[in-house]
């Protein structure tokens, strides 16, 4: 079973397009930089999302294709917002309270149902609700990242776990491997941001 999995990965890697390579390499770099709170993650993210917008449309992952356009806008906004925080010397990382977490869960649930229905009814997608769920979760996680909300990484961990089998099913082996790496980076990002958040709280109490 394990050998069959890796044989499938290798077979798909051989057929990988230059567009997927571009999106994968820049995608890995931008997530790594985001985990390190480096503002340059945003311009590199713009290159990645443009590559994946075309790629996902080609593979009939319409929810993900539209999501890339949203990522494009939020990458520009995140670049501006992080730069503004740097200029103002603000405490960058914040954390959601229980009420806000419940709102995020409700938002993801409602958006998943809506997007799944749209994709199922008006496109030829063969994974409408899986695509809709991953797209909805990514939509909210990305916005939380632009605002430097700690819990954005928890959402990305869930997203990455869900995307691995979805992209493998869609014969996007390189992207599958990328999301396995993303999963590790998301864990590192959460731990680093959590450490910075608690450090800022201690400094605030001094």
Tokens (6 digits) for 92: 């960058």
Tens digits of residue pLDDT in 51-62: 999 988 888 888
Look at residue 12 in the predicted model and tell me its pLDDT: 67
Q: Are 167 and 113 spatial neighbours (Cβ–Cβ below 8 Å)?
A: no
Residue 26 and residue 9: Cα distance in Å, rounded?
Answer: 20
Under the banding of pLDDT at 50, 70 and 90, the label for residue 112 is very high
Domain count, the chain: 1
What does the pLDDT read at residue 172? 80
Torsion of CA 183, 185, 187, 192, to 10 degrees: -170
What residues have CB less than 8 Å from 126, skipping those under 6 apart?
60
Q: 47 or 65: whose pLDDT is higher?
A: 47
Map residue 95 onto helix, strand or coil: coil
Residue 90: per-residue pLDDT: 60
Mean pLDDT across the chain, nearest whole number? 86
Answer for the pair 72, 43: CB distance below 8 angstroms, yes or no: no
| pLDDT score at 60 | 82
Alpha helical stretches, state H, the chain: 2-14, 18-35, 41-58, 62-88, 98-122, 128-146, 152-169, 173-205
User: Can you give the residue range of the structural domain that contains 62?
Assistant: 2-205
Is residue 125 helix, strand or coil? coil
pLDDT above 90 for 202: no
Contacts 24+ apart (CB under 8 A), 104-109: 104/140, 104/144, 104/151, 104/155, 107/136, 107/140, 108/133, 108/136, 108/137, 108/140
If pLDDT is split at 50, 70 and 90, which confidence band does 186 have? very high
């Amino acid at each position: 079973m394990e050998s069959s999995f890796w044989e499938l990965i290798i077979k798909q890697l051989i057929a990988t397009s230059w567009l997927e390579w571009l999106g994968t390499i820049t995608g890995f770099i931008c997530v790594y930089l985001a985990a390190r709170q480096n503002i340059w993650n945003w311009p590199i993210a713009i290159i990645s999302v443009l590559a994946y917008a075309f790629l996902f449309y080609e593979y009939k992952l319409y929810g993900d294709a539209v999501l890339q356009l949203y990522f494009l806008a939020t990458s520009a906004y995140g670049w501006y917002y992080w730069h503004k925080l740097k200029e103002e010397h603000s405490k960058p990382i914040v954390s959601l309270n229980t009420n806000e977490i419940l709102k995020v869960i409700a938002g993801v649930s409602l958006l998943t149902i809506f997007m799944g229905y749209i994709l199922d009814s008006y496109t030829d997608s063969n994974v409408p609700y899986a695509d809709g769920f991953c797209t909805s979760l990514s939509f909210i996680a990305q916005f939380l990242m632009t605002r430097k909300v700690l819990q954005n990484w928890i959402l990305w961990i869930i997203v990455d776990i869900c995307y691995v089998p979805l992209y493998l099913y869609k014969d996007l082996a390189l992207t599958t491997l990328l999301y396995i790496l993303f999963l590790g980076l998301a864990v590192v990002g959460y731990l680093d941001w959590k450490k910075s958040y608690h450090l800022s709280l201690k400094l605030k109490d001094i």
